[in-house]
Structures are given as structure tokens and as C-alpha cells.
Structure 1
Amino acid sequence: MQVNRLFEMVYMLIEKKKVTAREFADYFEVSMRTIYRDVEVLSAAGIPIYTEKGKSGGICLLSNYVIQKSVLSENDQINVLSSLQGMKALNVPEVEPVLRKLAVLFEKNNADWIDVDFSNWGSGLEEQEKFNHLKNAILKYQRIRFDYYSSYGEATTRTIEPLKLLFKGQAWYLYGFCLSKAEDRFFKVSRIRNLEVLAEYFVRETPPQVDFELFKRIPQEFLLVLKIEASMAFRVYDEFDQQAIEKQADDSFIVSVRLPEDGWIEGYLLSYGDAVEVMEPLWLREQIRKKLVNSLKKYV
């Protein structure tokens, strides 16, 4: 990630005094254009960085430059370290060395006080590699190609200019520009298969803030009202916001929540067995009834 690369560049320059753009590019596995863009970012941030031309040229810092930890307050230092601790959950290998160096600089004990794991139970190495390939493609501005399965099991091959990974609603999504549809799209990472990082590069600005309204367009939302028995209290409190839950006199729950109209919802509700009743909408109640009737026919 760029912030880690910028910190590492400054530390390398403090240690080595001069580093060529090619050396930086090879070390970070990025293009020289990216390195020069990083130099501009550091310069704009007030770091006294400059370039020397010629055979013995390179990227340098003013000889008397040191990182002043006093620029950040005590709380700022703690927040920076805490943020990097959280980023370790994304399995970004560059975070750990930066975290150690900043902990030394700030004279703070690098205590692992938080652990976050976004992976699914039982997810294997293949899923972790997929995430790393997506991350690298985003950082290096490389196009990707993959087979994508909709909620109805329909497969299409997509070529994407990946821009961001987002975590929303207990799932990872890839946000990027779809060349097939010629527009920005979200793709659920768990439905991506046969991912291939292409040797094709693109130039596109990464939006500082993603328009989450796109989630509402794909697909449309509806109001779901459920009655769930008390025996499923652990799932109710795990899977729904407190504001959506209304506990009844018999200890059952009425849950009202807006969800995207997607094929996964039927399987999700059936996972509750006979402990759930769909109150609204009526069309979904009827779909669940038909599925249960068809399922029963296989056992009688």
C-alpha cells in the first residue's frame, strides 16, 4: 500500500543517503513512474526530497533531515500504530516492518492488542492467494480477468480495472471499472473464479470514497420481516443490528431489516430450519413454502 511504501522510502533514504528510482522500483515491485509519483507526494507533504540527474544521480534527502516524532501528538502516535495493527488483518506483508519502525520511533511498546480475521471459517490457501492477487493488481494498476458467478449461478467472463477492495455486510467486494459493461461495478470476491492478473496496465484515478449507492442498484432492496424462535438468539444477535431486533414476550424475536434482493437469501433463511417464519414480504414467504414442499417430497 502506498503509505507503507512512502514510509519505507524515507527510511531507506535516511539509511543509504541516495537511492535510484530503478532500485526503488525493483525493491517495491512497482513502475518507475509510480516511484516518481511517490517522490511528488513526499515533497508535497513537506519532506525535503529531491532528485539528482546524471550517471551518479538518484533520489536523495537533505543530509540533515530526521523524522520528527514531535510532529504527532501522543494520541496521534497511538492511533497510527493502532491503524497499522488493524491493517495486519489484511495480510499486507509491508505493514509489519513499518509497524516495528514506527513503534521504535515513537518509543511505544508494539503490543498486539487487536487481532482481526476477515477470512471465512475453513477458507484455504487459494482464497488467501486470490486476495493477494487482487491487492497487487490494484496497487500496480493491472487489469484482471476472471469468471464471475451471479447469485443465480450464471457465469460470465469479466475484464476489470480493479480500484478497491471493500468489506461490507460480512463479505468482501471488489470495486472496479468493468470493460464489458463500460461502468464501475461491485463484484463479490467469493464469487470470483479463475482469477488472472494480466500484463496490461491502466491509468485511472482511484476514488477517495466509493459510492455505496451502487450496492443499492445491484440488486434492489426489500424489507424483510422475520419471526425467529428464542433458540436462535445467538444467531439473531450475531447477524442483525440491535435496532432491527424486537424481543417478544415469549422470548422470540421479530427482526425487520432491509436486504438486497439476491438469490442467497432463501438458502440463508432455510439454514434456520423450523426456527424462523417469514412474515414479509409475501412473495418470499411463498417461495420458501414451495421450496420446503419440494424438499419434503424427496423424503416421503
Structure 2
Amino acid sequence: MQINRLFEMVYLLLNKKSITARELAERFEVSTRTIYRDLDILSSAGIPIYTSQGKGGGISLMDNFILNKSVFSEEEKNEILYALQSLSIAQSPESEKVLAKLNGFFDHKRSNWIEADLTPWGSGKDSQSSFSKLKEAILNRRVICFEYFNAMGESRGRTVEPLKLTFKVYAWYLQGYCRTRNAYRTFKIARMSDIVLTEEHFEEREIQGGLTMEDDETSLLSLRLNVTADSAFRVFDDFSETDIQRMDDGSFSISVKLPESNWLIGYLLSYGDSMTVMEPKHIRERLREQAEQIAARYQ
């Protein structure tokens, strides 16, 4: 936020002969003390700012000051603009403002090279609102409350100090300090519901060590799977290459560890008849029983 404010202050001073600290404070919704601190930062960076007292006085730039656009090569200008476009993935209105100004400053026509939707297929405004809430909570260090569904399908309330959003293996996660568990935890965002931003602020924390998934109380189970060749697209989507062995007949042998839960049975069944669980035996039995129950519904 401060970097955006500093840039816009220079932009305003380039286009206005003079402006008062009070006007700047009202525009950016900060105190005049913060404005004077920002001016000190700009001055120390070599921006020739001076102030004049009395009627008609204010903050100005030296008349002969020009922000040299040639400092950047054409390639560097493109990289700056493309990087700012990637920030718009997080739906940041500040980055949009800066991007618009820099496009004009560099005399560039805007080219939208990237677009990303953080929400799942078929989701609506509620999912988009969740990401906006989480972003606001992280940036403003506000405690959040939500309901969380673990791998066993159980719903429990959580109170969390959110620290970071992470994208890993086709899913978004929230990393933070869980006050309910009194420990650092990672939550899969798709399993979070009824997210509420409280008015309580928390002290800035550093993420300590490797974060633990909220479902880690569920033990990991070693499985050996066989998947037919016609499901290769799913194999490489779902599993690491180190877990996959290509067989002579084109099928795949997969050795992997997954949490033993109700989710696991549904996940394995989602492969239909293209997957055979070779081990362990008790999972084979659970799948057979589940398949029989499903078949009975269609008789």
C-alpha cells in the first residue's frame, strides 16, 4: 500500500503545481504525519520535493524535474506492465490503478496477457467473496472465523490468524495460526464455509516451520493401485511422477500414501472400472461393499 501511495504522490506532484499535506492526507486517508514521512522517503530517494509556507504554499516538485521514461528499456517496461497484470489475479484495485498510470506513462496500449479465476468451476459470487475476505484479513491482520470440513466429513468451527494463501497441486490453501488448535495449520479453502472477518486485529506473525494440514490427525495409508492406460490423463494430474510406474501393457502401477477417510473411498471410486486397488486388503473390501450398495440403488 505504501509503495502505491508513494508512486501516486509523485504522479500527483508531476501534474499539480502545488498540493498541501492535508489534501494528500485526505486523498489517501492517512494522517499528515504519515504524509510527511512519505515525503522524507521520496526526498531520500532523490525526488526534489520542497515545501513553501503561507498562503498559496504547499508541497511541490522542482520545476526542472522530469521523471525520465528512458531509464527503462522497452523490454523492461513490458516486464513491469506484465508483472502488474499478474497482480490483478488477486483482484487488487490498487494494482489496476498503478497499471493504468504506467500504461499511459510508458505510452503503451494495454494488452491483457493473463487471466486467472481463483474459484472452482461452477462457483459464483460467494466463492469470489471468500477470496476477497481472506485477502483483506491477511493484509490487515484481522482474525477470521469459519466452519471447516475435514477429510472425515466432520464440520468444526475454527478461529484463525490468517498469514498466507498458497496454491499447491490444483488447490488453494490458507496458512495461518489456528487459535482453536493453538498451532500453525493449513486449511484447504474449498472446505471452508461461513467465513467471517472479525474486528479483532492480531500481531504480525512469522510462519514457523512446516505448516501442518488440519487433517493430519488422519493417518496416512500406503496404497498400491493399478490404473488402465485410457486414464493416463488423470494419473499424471493426480499423482507425482515418482509414484508412477508404466507397465508393459500400457497401464500404470502407483504407490502412494493418502489419508484414510471417507474421502478416500469416494476418490478411488471416482476412477470407476479404470482403477484396481491392489493393496491394502481392507480398502478393497470397503470398495466392494460400497460398490454393492451403489448397485443396489439401481436395481
TM-score, L = length of structure 1: 0.75
Alpha carbons of structure 1 residues 49 and 170: separation in structure 2 relative to 1, 3 Å: farther
Gaps of 5+ in 2: none
Q: 1:55, 1:154 → 2: CA distance? A: 67
Aligned residue in 2 for 1:23: 26
Shift, 1:142, TM fit: 1.8
Letter in 2 for 1:114: I
Note the aligned Cα RMSD (angstroms). 4.1
- 8 Å CA contact 1:49, 1:60 repeated in 2: no
SS where residue 212 of structure 2 aligns?
helix
Q: 1:224, 1:293 → 2: CA distance? A: 22
- Of stretches 12-21 and 260-269 in structure 1, the one that deviates more from structure 2 is 12-21
Gaps of 5+ in 1: none
Shift, 1:73, TM fit: 5.4
Alpha carbons of structure 1 residues 213 and 200: separation in structure 2 relative to 1, 3 Å: closer
Residue 105, structure 1, aligned to residue 105, structure 2: yes
Alpha carbons of structure 1 residues 89 and 256: separation in structure 2 relative to 1, 3 Å: farther
Alpha carbons of structure 1 residues 167 and 290: separation in structure 2 relative to 1, 3 Å: same
Aligned residue in 2 for 1:249: 248
Letter in 1 for 2:144: I
Letter in 1 for 2:212: L
Aligned residue in 2 for 1:145: 145
Residue 228, structure 1, aligned to residue 247, structure 2: no
Aligned residue in 2 for 1:87: 87
Aligned residue in 2 for 1:279: 278
- 8 Å CA contact 1:138, 1:162 repeated in 2: yes
Shift, 1:169, TM fit: 2.0
- 8 Å CA contact 2:226, 2:253 repeated in 1: yes
Shift, 1:133, TM fit: 1.4
Compare CA radii of gyration and give the structure with the larger one: 2
Aligned residue in 2 for 1:268: 267
SS where residue 94 of structure 1 aligns?
helix
Letter in 2 for 1:116: A
Shift, 1:200, TM fit: 1.9
CA offsets per residue over residues 251-299 of structure 1, 9 Å max, x none?
Answer: 3223344545565332222111111112345554444334324434444
Letter in 2 for 1:292: A
Shift, 1:3, TM fit: 5.2
- 8 Å CA contact 1:24, 1:35 repeated in 2: no
Q: 1:154, 1:192 → 2: CA distance? A: 12
Alpha carbons of structure 1 residues 261 and 83: separation in structure 2 relative to 1, 3 Å: farther
Letter in 1 for 2:98: V
Aligned residue in 1 for 2:155: 155
Q: 2:59, 2:206 → 1: CA distance? A: 28
Letter in 2 for 1:181: R
Residue 214, structure 1, aligned to residue 217, structure 2: no
CA offsets per residue over residues 59-93 of structure 1, 9 Å max, x none?
Answer: 96754665555555555443332222222222223
Alpha carbons of structure 1 residues 51 and 281: separation in structure 2 relative to 1, 3 Å: farther
TM-score, L = length of structure 2: 0.76
CA offsets per residue over residues 144-195 of structure 1, 9 Å max, x none?
Answer: 2222222222222222222221111211112222222222222222222222
Alpha carbons of structure 1 residues 248 and 278: separation in structure 2 relative to 1, 3 Å: same
Q: 1:45, 1:263 → 2: CA distance? A: 60
Alpha carbons of structure 1 residues 99 and 229: separation in structure 2 relative to 1, 3 Å: same
SS where residue 45 of structure 2 aligns?
coil
- 8 Å CA contact 2:13, 2:61 repeated in 1: no
- 8 Å CA contact 2:165, 2:174 repeated in 1: yes
Residue 295, structure 1, aligned to residue 294, structure 2: yes
- Of stretches 129-138 and 232-241 in structure 1, the one that deviates more from structure 2 is 232-241
SS where residue 172 of structure 1 aligns?
strand
